[in-house]
Amino acid sequence: MATVDIVLRGFSVVTSEGNFAPCGVYLVRADDGRTLVYDSAHAGRRMKLLNALERRGIDPDRVDVVVASHGHWDHVQNFDVFKRAELLAHADELAYLAAPDPGDHATPAWTRDLFAGARGVADGEELLPGVRALHLPGHSPGSLGLAVETADGVAVISGDAVASSAAALAGFCPNVFFDAEKADASLKRVVELADVVYPGHDRPFRITGATAEFLTDIRPMTVGVGGLPAEVVTVEARTGLQRLLHGAARQSSTKGNR
Ligand SMILES: [Zn+2]
């Protein structure tokens, strides 16, 4: 049976001065000994990523496969760390990255350079023994998850198709850059299929009735803020959902085109 390990925790930090966007990075070890890394986070977490891999005895040069959940900046900036891995993404995402919408702030035009040499995969394709590709469109055109057969049942690594347990419980995708209807259908597909969800920006969880049961505890976190006097910084913890339809007019005009 394959195993799934958390390399970097996903969570969410949004400030009035911008979004830090720490995504989950996951390691899959297949039965045949091959290793797969799902997402790579952004360059602000590169040292954290390297240290986390080292603690797990993983040499980045020996990782076999890297899977991109999608092209958003916060997931893609450390692919180059894995020098010999095959980079996989959904074919629709690669097509979109060739000419991303200029209004898509999460997918700058330079993103395509990070995907040079990537291979496009399709829904249902077996990437490693016990590891299948899931096309989960909506958050982006080619959002790609993984269904992994583990000893604990089916683990779905979802990327931002299911960014959080709150989204899974609410039953809709709150953060849509492409197609809201498809995003909601993808979220439902994950919730129905998964025994455990490894989300884009939250701790892994199981859905048990109307609540989420988390697989890991929250560790204490130190936050340093430079350049600002303490009295002007306020911290508000919240788990509320917002439907952030990116360019609603554009979405309705392009729906179904990609
Ligand atoms: Zn995203």
List pLDDT tens digits, range 1-49. 999 999 999 998 888 888 889 999 999 999 999 999 999 999 999 999 9
Question: Mind listing the domains of the chain with CATH numbers?
Answer: 3-254 (3.60.15.10)
Distance 9 CA to ligand 1 centre (A): 15
Calpha distance 171→153 (Å, rounded): 22
Distance 107 CA to ligand 1 centre (A): 9
Distance 160 CA to ligand 1 centre (A): 5
User: Model-level pTM?
Assistant: 0.92
Q: How confident is the model at residue 220 (pLDDT cuts 50, 70, 90)?
A: confident
In sequence order, the β-bridge partners of residue 205 are 197, 214
- Residue partners of 186: CB distance under 8 A and separation at least 6: 136, 137, 138, 139, 143, 161, 173
Distance 70 CA to ligand 1 centre (A): 7
List pLDDT tens digits, range 48-88. 999 999 999 999 999 999 999 999 999 999 999 999 999 99
